[in-house]
Amino acid sequence: MSTISRSRPSLTPATSERSTLPMGGSAAPGSPEFKPLEPTREQLLAHFFERFKFYTSLCLGTAAILAVFAFLFLIPFVVEPAVQTILAEFVPEAGLCSVSEHVHAETLTNCTWASCREGCTTAHTKCHKIRVNLSRRPFVEGAPPPAKWDETHLKFLINPEGCGYPPTVNCSVFAKEYAGPNAPKLFPCYYSLTRPDLVVARYSWEETVRGLIIALVLPTSVFVFSLSVLAYWHCRCCDRACNRRVHAESFASKEDSKLLCELDDDPSDDVF
């Protein structure tokens, strides 16, 4: 079996360590004849690149960790509600609704469901429960009420999740807007094709899809990019495989390629 030999270049003293005196001459560091050479441009660039590589790797590692936590955070707050909204199949054109009942309930027993909740992860002891009558004809401003409603006494939610966070969601303002003394008798609403008992006040297909795409693509892209750069810089076998593709392809067998990676991991191969 043929063995793989790798020639190593002989190391020479650094430029800054070479003497400027004639052969056999010597000078003390404090003497006028002692003139240490300045670092070369290549050495300065190499030093700058090492520092740049260290700090960039630190930032990329932090970005990758934050991307994972951001993705885990976005799953219950953005991804899951967006998926549920898409599966509900709300109609793109608003229908016609009118409030049939409004109850301001208290205690956890009476707030098993609510039209609006400020906060999606906590239970509330006070809530607004609004029910509406629905007509599936398109909403037209100033149109007379229908003679017969298509559905009656349906749950009316502020959005498909029924909750949100200030300042986007304010339940007191929502209750006054739709069930207060000055609320309109008829208003636009969106109903679900897969959940007939669900009617919402706010819905946008574009915003739902946009939020879902951003929540999935942005953290994933940051994580993959950071991990790829870190692997290219710090994984010896990956780095050598990228920089020595032609050299690696010259080995026909898997054993030779494996031996190449083992030799790349040899710390004695590092010059600096």
Tens-place pLDDT, residues 54-73: 999 999 999 999 999 999 99
Q: Out of 29-38, 43-52, 73-82, pick the least confident.
A: 29-38
CB-count burial class (<10 Å; 0-12, 13-18, 19+) for 236: middle
Determine, yes or no, domain membership for 10: no
> Residue 130: what pLDDT?
95
> Residue 60: what pLDDT?
93
Tens-place pLDDT, residues 108-149: 888 889 999 988 888 888 899 999 999 999 998 888 888 899
Residues 82 and 142 in one domain: no
Q: Does the predicted model carry a pTM greater than 0.75?
A: no
> Residue 4: what pLDDT?
43
Residues 174 and 116 in one domain: yes
Q: Is the pLDDT of residue 152 over 50?
A: yes
Determine, yes or no, domain membership for 103: yes
Residue 7, token pair as written in the block = 């020639």
Residues 162 and 132 in one domain: yes
Residues 211 and 86 in one domain: yes
Determine, yes or no, domain membership for 216: yes
Determine, yes or no, domain membership for 257: no
Please count the structural domains in the chain.
2
Residues 109 and 96 in one domain: yes
Confidence of residue 22 (pLDDT cuts 50, 70, 90): low
In contact, 108 and 125? CB cutoff 8 Å: yes
> Residue 120: what pLDDT?
84
Residues 154 and 208 in one domain: no
In terms of Cα–Cα distance, which of 209, 212, 208, 166 is closest to 71? 212
Rounded Cα distance, 88 and 78, in Å: 15
- The residue range of the domain holding 224 is 57-90+204-234
> Residue 5: what pLDDT?
44
Q: Helix (H, G, I), strand (E, B), or coil: what is residue 27?
A: coil
Residues 120 and 76 in one domain: no
> Residue 124: what pLDDT?
84
Tens-place pLDDT, residues 156-202: 999 988 888 888 889 999 999 999 888 888 999 999 999 888 899 99
> Residue 2: what pLDDT?
43
Residues 84 and 96 in one domain: no
Tens-place pLDDT, residues 224-266: 999 999 988 888 766 555 555 544 455 445 565 555 555 555 5
Rounded Cα distance, 130 and 154, in Å: 8
Residues 190 and 146 in one domain: yes
Determine, yes or no, domain membership for 3: no
Residues 147 and 214 in one domain: no
Determine, yes or no, domain membership for 253: no
